[in-house]
C-alpha cells in the first residue's frame, strides 16, 4: 500500500515525463532536419523554425477546406516543396558567394516568411482546433487526464523517428546521405548528383519541421511569432547534440524537453537549499537570486546547458567534429 503522498509525487513524475518526452519529440522533428542540413550544406538554416510555422498555418488553412487529416499530409508536402525550391533557386545561387552569404540569406528568409504570414493570416492567433475525433481524454493516471491528442502527437513523432532511422540506415538513399554528410566531395566524385541530394534533404528536412507544425499547431498556439519562440531552442538542441549527429539531436531533444518540464515542477531555491545554514548577507545582498525558484529559471535552462556544453564539450554530446 503506497501512501497518498507518494501517489501524488508519482503522478507528478509520470505526467511530467510524458509532457517532457512529448516536447522533446516535437523538438526532434525539427532538429533532425536542421542538423542534417547543417552537416551536408554547412549552413545553419535560420529559417528552419519558419517552416515549422508555415506547416502550422498551411495545416490550419487546409484543414478549414478539407479537414484535418488530409491537411496532415498536404501541408508538410507543400512546405517541403517550398523548402526544396528555396534550396534549388535560392541557396544554391547564394552558395557561390560563400557561407556568410548563405547564413544571411536564411536569416533574411526567416523575417520574410514571418512578414508574409502576418500579411496573410494577421498577427493574432488563428483558431486552429484539435479534430473532434481526437478531442477526448486518452487515459487517466491517478486523477489526471491525459489528452488523446497529445498521445497522437507522441505517436506521430515516434513513427517518423523510426521511419527516418530505417531510411537512413537501411536504404540506398540513406547510405548516400550518410556518406554525403561526411564526405560530400567524394560522393560527388563517385558520380552521384550531390545537388539533387542536397535539394532532397532540404525538402525532407523542412517537411519534417512542417509536420511538427501541423501537429503542434492545434495543441499550442498558431500565431506569427511561433517560429521566433521556438527557433532559439532548436539551435540549442543541435549544438548540444553535436552538429550533424542525428542520434545526438535525438538525445538532446529529449534531454531539453525533460529538463524544461521537470524544472517547472520543482520548487527549490537557493534559500531553500541552504536553509538555516545560509549566510545572513545572502538575504540582503543576494536577495534577487536567493529566492528565485528552479521553476522560474526553467525557460533559461536550455541556454545554460548550451553554455556549459560549449565550454566543456564543444563537439556536443554525440558529435564527432569541432564546431
Partner 1 sequence: MRQWMMVAALLPMLGGTALAQETVKIGYIDPLSGGGASIGEVGYKTFQFLAEELNAKGGILGKKVEIVPFDNKTNPQESLIQAQKAIDGGVRYITQGNGSSVAGALTDFVTKYNERNPGKEILYFNYAAVDPVLTNAKCSFWHFRWDANSDIKMEALTNYMKSAADIKKLYLINQDYSFGESVRSAAKTMLKAKRPDIQIVGDELHPLLKITDFAPYVAKIKASGADSVITGNWGQDFALLLKASADAGLKVNWYTYYAGGTGGPTAIKQANLNHQVFQIAEGIPNLGYPSADAFEKALRAKYDFSLFYPRAVNQMRMFAAAAEKAKSLDPVKVAAALEGMQFDVYNGGGKGIMRKDDHQFFQPMYIASFGDRTEKEPFDEEKTGWGWRQAAKIDPEQTMLPTTCKMERPN
Residues that bind partner 1 (CB under 8 A): 8-9, 11-12, 15-16, 19-20, 23, 118, 123-125, 137, 140, 143-147, 150, 219-221, 223-226, 229, 260-261, 264-265, 267, 293, 295-296, 299
What does 75-111 look like in DSSP terms, one character per residue?
A: HHHHHHHHHHHIIIIIIHHHHTT-HHHHHHHHHHHHH
- Cβ of residue 136: shortest distance to partner 1, in angstroms? 10
Q: Exposed, middle or buried by CB within 10 Å (0-12, 13-18, 19+), for 34?
A: buried
The answer for residues whose C-beta is within 8 angstroms of residue 211's C-beta and 6 or more apart is 29, 55, 72, 76, 156, 160
Read off φ and ψ for residue 293, nearest 5 degrees: -85, 160
- Cβ of residue 280: shortest distance to partner 1, in angstroms? 23
- Cβ of residue 296: shortest distance to partner 1, in angstroms? 5
Q: Is 183 left (phi over 0), alpha (psi -120 to 50) or beta?
A: beta
Residue 12 or 179 having the CB closest to partner 1? 12
Q: Are strands 144-147 and 137-141 parallel, antiparallel or unpaired?
A: antiparallel
Distance CA 93, CA 300 (A): 37
CB 232 within 8 A of CB 177: no
- Cβ of residue 283: shortest distance to partner 1, in angstroms? 16
DSSP type of residue 131: P
Residue 90 or 291 having the CB closest to partner 1? 291
- Cβ of residue 37: shortest distance to partner 1, in angstroms? 25
- Cβ of residue 146: shortest distance to partner 1, in angstroms? 8
Amino acid at each position: 500500500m503506497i501512501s497518498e503522498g507518494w501517489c501524488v509525487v508519482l503522478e507528478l513524475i509520470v505526467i511530467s515525463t510524458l509532457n517532457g518526452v512529448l516536447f522533446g519529440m516535437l523538438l526532434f522533428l525539427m532538429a533532425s532536419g536542421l542538423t542534417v542540413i547543417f552537416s551536408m550544406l554547412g549552413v545553419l538554416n535560420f529559417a528552419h523554425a519558419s517552416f515549422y510555422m508555415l506547416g502550422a498555418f498551411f495545416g490550419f488553412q487546409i484543414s478549414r477546406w478539407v479537414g484535418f487529416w488530409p491537411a496532415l499530409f498536404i501541408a508538410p508536402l507543400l512546405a517541403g516543396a517550398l523548402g526544396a525550391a528555396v534550396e534549388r533557386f535560392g541557396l544554391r545561387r547564394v552558395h557561390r558567394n560563400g557561407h556568410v552569404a548563405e547564413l544571411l540569406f536564411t536569416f533574411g528568409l526567416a523575417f520574410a516568411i514571418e512578414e508574409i504570414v502576418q500579411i496573410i493570416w494577421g498577427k493574432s492567433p488563428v483558431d486552429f482546433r484539435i479534430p473532434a475525433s481526437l478531442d477526448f481524454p486518452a487515459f487517466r493516471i491517478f486523477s489526471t487526464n491525459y489528452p488523446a491528442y497529445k498521445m497522437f502527437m507522441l505517436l506521430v513523432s515516434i513513427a517518423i523517428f523510426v521511419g527516418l532511422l530505417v531510411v537512413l540506415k537501411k536504404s540506398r538513399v540513406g547510405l548516400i546521405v550518410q556518406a554525403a554528410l561526411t564526405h560530400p566531395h567524394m560522393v560527388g566524385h563517385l558520380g552521384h548528383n550531390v545537388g539533387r541530394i542536397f535539394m532532397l534533404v532540404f525538402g525532407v528536412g523542412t517537411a519534417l519541421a512542417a509536420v511538427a507544425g501541423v501537429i503542434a499547431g492545434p495543441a499550442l498556439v498558431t500565431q506569427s511569432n511561433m517560429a521566433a519562440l521556438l527557433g532559439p531552442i532548436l539551435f540549442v538542441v543541435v549544438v548540444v547534440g553535436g552538429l550533424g549527429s542525428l542520434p545526438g539531436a535525438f538525445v538532446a531533444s529529449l534531454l531539453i524537453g525533460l529538463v524544461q518540464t521537470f524544472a517547472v515542477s520543482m520548487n527549490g531555491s537557493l534559500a531553500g537549499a541552504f536553509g538555516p545554514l545560509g549566510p545572513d548577507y545572502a538575504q540582503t545582498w543576494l536577495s534577487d537570486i536567493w529566492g528565485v525558484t528552479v521553476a522560474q529559471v526553467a525557460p533559461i535552462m536550455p541556454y545554460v546547458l548550451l553554455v556549459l556544453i560549449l565550454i566543456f564539450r564543444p563537439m556536443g554530446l554525440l558529435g564527432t567534429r569541432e564546431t
